[in-house]
Amino acid sequence: MEYYFDVFGCLWGNRSCCATPHYKVVVSDRARQMLASHVRFLAQKSPEAARKTKNDLMNAIRSLYHMPERFPFLEAEFIPPNKYHKMFVEKWYLVLYQIKDQSVYVDFIVDCRQDYGWLVQ
């Protein structure tokens, strides 16, 4: 039988031994409002799809407590370099967040089907 260890020497499947740091995830009021707006709009057409989208987004955001740096930085002309990480959720949603010390700050949840040019100006 073979066993695999990650870069921290942890046996796969045994989370109790891992020494990777965990981060506190903070969702801004603006990001909460954006999420509520997206879900409300979707619920007009399909309440089930709205529930699924909300759950998928919340699960993705919660997952940032572990290795939030796994997602790349946002590269945009009017955004300072290396400020926001970008995480795509489902097909259409973009979550932008910053990492400061042991905290992750979710600042924006954008529906990429809409015009979000205001964000990069």
Place of tokens 């987004």: 57
What pLDDT shows up at residue 119?
55
Question: Residue 20 has what pLDDT?
Answer: 65
Residue found under tokens 């955004």: 79
For residue 38, give Cα distances in angstroms to 66, 99, 120.
25, 24, 20
H/E segment holding residue 67: none
pLDDT at 116: 60
pLDDT in tens, the chain (121 residues): 334 444 344 444 444 445 567 899 999 999 999 999 999 999 999 999 999 999 999 999 999 999 999 999 998 888 888 999 999 998 889 999 999 999 999 999 998 887 665 555 4
The pTM score is 0.77
